[in-house]
Amino acid sequence: MHFYITDDDEVFRSMLSQIIEDEELGEIVGEAEDGSFVDEHTLAIKHVDILFIDLLMPIRDGIETIRSIMPSFKGKIIMVSQVESKELIGEAYSLGIEYYITKPLNRIEVLSVVQKVMERIRLERSIQDIQKSLSNVFDWNPAKEQKPSSEEKKITDWGQVLLSELGIAGENGSKDLLDIIDYLYHYETEREFEMGFPTLKDIFTHISLRKLGTAASQDEIDRERKASEQRVRRAIYQSLNHLASLGLTDFANPKFENYAPKFFDFTTVRQRMTELKQASLTSTTHTRINAKKFIQVLYFEAKQLLVEGY
């Protein structure tokens, strides 16, 4: 079984992970410190079977997060919280959670609940296998074996996963970044970067044209291009803050080790970590970012995931 834990308490995530791993219940395939970092694409690509989610979180709470991922998310949800409000618990159940566990964690209760949910998943899968077998016997059609194009993963799906990992899936500039990698994918498919990687100005101009349409005036295109650049730069700064914060908390954090040196220059990351350590979160005056490098890495990482995903 694949588990994903969403909770703003790092100690809680660690304790829950330890229980699951000690009892060999399955694999922890992802964690998030807030519901804003969770989306249906990430859960689907990581093949999450059981999602643990806290009710109260700083940016997006458990109720809002469940609403955003349903009905696309096909796994089971277990909510864990200190809140004992009957109204909130009732609302959570109405949205489709399987169980509601009250903090602090009780190891026996967690094991009992997880085992029940796992058993239900196995039962549902057995029924699906039987139905599929019967369908194949009585109504076999070779055409049905072909995977519908609508189910194929697009490069933007993988881009969304990366943005979630980078801590900026909910930022305004995330949509612009997804438009950019989609544009670059089609650009490379048609021209194979014969003239090299496009300039940032060309990239932003093309996605602005896509958004506004050919009837837009040059002034409108220029305004949208500049606005898009600002949104993307703010998102990149937020990603830098996110990774630098992870590095300060734990220099061996897998996300920090994997993404920080890829998406940013090492000196930039170290400088931002120093600024954060000095409690100057809002001060970005002296921290310069390489937006083109970030976009290039995001595109090629998403493209690699797309290739491996097939």
Neighbours of 235 (CB within 10 A): 25
Q: Output the pTM of the full model.
A: 0.57
Kind plus residue range of the DSSP H or E element containing 102? strand 99-102
Q: What is the pLDDT of residue 144?
A: 46
Can you tell me the distance from the alpha carbon of 155 to that of 39, in angstroms, rounded to the nearest whole number? 16
Per cent of the chain over pLDDT 70 is: 89
Identify the H or E element spanning 81: strand 76-81
Contacts of range 242-247, beta carbons closer than 8 Å, 24 or more positions apart:
242/166, 242/167, 242/168, 243/166, 243/167, 243/269, 244/269, 244/272, 244/273, 244/276, 245/276, 247/273
- The helix or strand, by DSSP H or E, that contains position 203, with its residue range, turns out to be helix 200-212
The residue among 216, 222, 191 whose CA lies nearest residue 204 is 222
- Integer Cα distance of 214 and 289 in angstroms: 32
Where do the structural domains in the chain lie, given as residue ranges? 2-119, 155-309
Task: For residues 117 and 78, give the distance between their C-alpha atoms in angstroms, rounded to a whole number.
Answer: 9
Residue 278 is classified by DSSP as T
In what helix (H) or strand (E) does residue 76 lie, and over which residues does it extend? strand 76-81
Contact assessment for residue 292 and residue 200, using Cβ atoms and an 8 Å cutoff = yes
Alpha-carbon gap, residue 104 to 100, rounded angstroms = 12
Q: Tell me the chain's radius of gyration from C-alpha atoms.
A: 22
Architecture category of domain 2-119 in CATH: 3-Layer(aba) Sandwich (3.40)
For the chain, list residues with pLDDT below 50.
140, 142-151, 283-285, 310
Longest dimension (CA), the chain: 69
> What pLDDT is attached to residue 150?
40
| pLDDT tens profile 148-207 | 444 457 899 889 888 988 988 888 899 999 999 999 999 888 877 777 888 999 999 999
**Dist CA 32 CA 7 (whole Å):** 6
